[in-house]
Structure 1
Amino acid sequence: MCYSRNLISGAFIYYVTAGLFHFHVYVLDRDGVFRSGQRRRPTWETIKDQIWLAQRSMFCYVALPVFSDWLIEGGYTYTYYSVSEIGGFGWWLFLTLVYFGTVEVGIYWMHRTLHTNKWLYKNLTGFFRPART
């Protein structure tokens, strides 16, 4: 149930935000981004490829919160219902900053590694891309 909820919600958020971004860049301000000539407009093939990649990878991304829910419901991690349970606002702020700092640094290094390690980039992104004929 959680997985279905996350998949539907993730697809909805992706298509709404990507649709609004596309409308803003390619319809409202169609010459603004590409005016200098340094950037070329992506082809429809590239746009469709990126949509396909995002949709296929979403099946993996939405599983992460399901795993988190399982950890919480199984009692493997704590869930706090008020700031006082953590030890006050100071501890809440500290733990939030540690969490976001750890997550963001981890995401940065994973992303950077994908771009600098050609074998990983080829094999992991190839897994999510459609086969070319």
Structure 2
Amino acid sequence: MEDPIAYQPLFVEDTDFYNRILLGSLLPQWLWAPLPRFCQTWLRNYIGGLLLYFVSGFLWCFYIYYWKRNVYVPKDTIPTRKAMFLQIVVAMKAMPWYCLLPTLSEYITEHGWTRCYPRLNDVGLLAYLVYLGIYLAFVEFGIYWMHRELHDIKPLYKYLHATHHIYNKQNTLSPFAGLAFHPLDGILQAIPHSIALFIIPTHFTTHLALLFIEGVWTTNIHDCIHGNLWPVMGAGYHTIHHTTYRHNYGHFTIWMDWMFGTLRDPTMDEGKLN
């Protein structure tokens, strides 16, 4: 793989393309084009984050609470509109800060400070898949321990993570709770994605896509529906996390909880969440 600094023009080209696609489609050019590139990128990430949060949240709530009412979630466990509104308020306060992380990731990548590469043919398909697997394992490990320490270190829990854990019952959890964190809490849990860039050769666009996939994923794992697809850390596992506070710290999979002894299986423990 070439020196990342040699890729700088391609990284800049990609960022400018993504900015033009989203900002150019939604805003008049005079409103965003004069902004510094860092601000353009932040604005693009912010608008993209809002769209992702609201579109995925409203569609999923409509599907499980109205279209499939009483199919997936019993009527008495459907969260109130007030609970969902309060979750949206918390998420909106944090969203501008969340969007700094992908913006900084792009900035440091453009300046050649990471091991990112811009095109798949820079490393080949096999190497891309191997690096992606290592990246995902690193992120899974990092998020698990970051999340666990946010529980175990009492000041971190009290001043950061408790904001999210006020939603601790099925009738208060909703897809909109997925991003309802203290801003620093949300950034800390996502930061393994950025740390990985300094260690693992990573496809630039894949990294950005995975950061936004986080938004869809966290919506899914707060809907209280147990998908029961091993080894995926579905909502059934994560609902247990919200009701026991001591289990299922993992993110995409249950592997870290299995390895470190914090796994609790909803299919084996149904009806005993305390």
> Shorter-chain TM-score category?
0.7 to 0.9
Question: Hey, what's the Cα distance between the residues in 2 that align with 1:31 and 1:70?
Answer: 46
- Deviation of 1:21 (Å): 0.8
Deviations 1:59-86 (A, max 9, x none): 2221111111111221212443433422
Q: Which moved more, 1:115-124 or 1:68-77?
A: 115-124
Residue 67 and residue 10 in structure 1: after superposition, are their counterparts in 2 closer, same or farther (change >3 A)? Answer: same
Provide the rounded CA distance (Å) in 1 between the counterparts of 2:87 and 2:127: 41
Instruction: Please say if 1:65 is aligned against 2:108.
Output: no
Q: Who is 2:182 aligned against?
A: 128
Cα distance per residue 1:89-122 (max 9 Å; x no partner): 3222111111111112212222233344443222
Once the 2 structures are TM-superposed, how far is the Cα of residue 128 of structure 1 from its aligned partner?
Answer: 3.3
Whole-angstrom CA distance in 1 between matches of 2:116 and 2:153 = 37
Deviation at 1:31, TM superposition (A): 1.4
Is 1:112 aligned with 2:166?
no
Task: Write the mapping of 1:48-59 to structure 2, written as runs, cut at 5 A.
Answer: 48-59=85-96
Task: Flag the 1:116–1:94 CA change in 2: closer, same or farther, 3 A.
Answer: same
May I ask how many residue pairs the two structures share in their alignment? 126
Larger RCO, structure (CA 8 Å, separation 6 or more): 1
- When structure 1 is superposed on structure 2, of 17-26 and 98-107 the one drifting more is 98-107
**Equivalent residues in 2 for 1:9-28, closer than 5 Å:** 9-28=48-67
Out of 91, 94, 103, which is 2:127 matched to? 91
* Identity score, percent: 35
- One-letter code aligned to 1:103: V
Which residue of structure 1 lines up, in the alignment, with residue 41 of structure 2?
2
Task: Please say if residues 65 and 73 of structure 2, whose CA atoms lie closer than 8 Å, have aligned partners that are also in contact.
Answer: no
Q: Which one-letter code corresponds to 2:182 in the other structure?
A: F
Corresponding residue to 1:41 among 69, 78, 103: 78
Which structure features the higher share of helix residues? 1
Structure 2: 5+ residue stretches without partners: 1-39, 164-180, 184-274
TM-score, normalised to structure 1, is 0.78
Q: CA deviation at 1:27?
A: 0.8
Determine the C-alpha separation between the residues in 1 that align with 2:92 and 2:126.
Answer: 39
My pick for the range that moved more, 19-28 or 54-63, is: 54-63
